[in-house]
Amino acid sequence: MSRLRTTSDLVSLTEIEAAAGRLAGITVRTPLVPFPLPPGAPSLLVKPESLQPVGAFKLRGAYATISSLPDDVRERGVVTHSSGNHARAVAYTARELGIRAVLVMPHTTPAVKVDACRELGAEVVYVEPNAEARVETADRLAAAHGFTMIPPYDDARVIAGQGTVGLEIVQDRPDVDVVLVPISGGGLISGVAAAVKALRPEARIIGVEPELAADARDSLRLGRPVSWTAEDTGRTIADGLRVQQVGDLPFAHIQALVDGIVTVTEDDIKATMRRLARETRLVAEPSGAVATAAYLHHRDELPEGATYVSVLSGGNVDPALFQEVYA
């Protein structure tokens, strides 16, 4: 049974800095790319995690976690459950470290993400697109084969790895006022918030979700994790943000460190994907576009500031979908 966490469980800046050390030479230190805006508008800088070797930020958490395992544990192999980007990050890490990786993935995962995982040498097990099937199958495989479970978000080591995104943001722009971060299971925003608030407490952290998968918004409002059905979250084009409920440890971070959550529409997401491609030359998958969409379409709902940073979390978009959206 899950349990709510307390502030004593929050990931520290020291843990994030240690993760950064393990990631040196593995992940890309992604730049802050200016988004062209009219004169007089607050500046918007986009952090394109799409430039990582696996096309998304997930490599930070996966590599930081797996590389920290004792050798004898790591050599038995790893298993995870993921809709795509975390799975690909685990597969990439396993290949780099020469270990076995088994990935439990919903059968609705875009083929571009599944094919990329298989090309990295991982084994894929398909399940129904709901949280129960994913977790149950991954746990069963771990128990049967001695694999180590690498959680996609509800894990302090994973959160510390994702927190290196926030560490880099403040190091590159110490004057940042507002950081916009997509929310799925909550690992990315937890790590970013922990790093940014430790280094620049006055900065505001805003989570962004599709309005068709706004479980984190509801959770923050009600003070407890709220679950949406797979059918409800499955309506959004942002397949990477279809997690039905934020994790317990991420929720503790969200309650303690996140200043608000805004939602964006499907049309907002598609329009932002087009603008990112045309105006910054950056390819964003739907999930990766939501943070920038919050600035472009809902700035009146955001805190005031002179410098905004949006995290473009991934660029692994299905080519057919990208062609449809970009047209």
Burial 219-229 (b: 16+ CB within 10 A, else e): bbeeeebbebe
Tokens coding 190 = 């937890």
Strand-strand pairing, 178-182 and 101-106: unpaired
> CA 77, CA 148: separation in Å to the nearest integer?
6
SS3 314: strand
Tokens coding 21 = 């050390």
Residue of 129, 136, 131, 101 lying closest to 116 (CA atoms): 101
Annotated catalytic, 313? yes
Q: Which of 58, 113, 197, 270 is catalytic?
A: 58
Report DSSP letters for 88-151, one per residue: HHHHHHHHHHT--EEEEEETTS-HHHHHHHHHTT-EEEEE-SSHHHHHHHHHHHHHHHTPEE--
- The tally of CA atoms less than 13 A away on the side-chain side of residue 287 is 31
Burial 36-61 (b: 16+ CB within 10 A, else e): eeeeeeebbbbbbbbbbebbbbbbbb
SS3 61: helix
Annotated catalytic, 184? no
Q: Which of 184, 219, 287, 313 is catalytic?
A: 313
Active-site annotation, residues? 58, 313
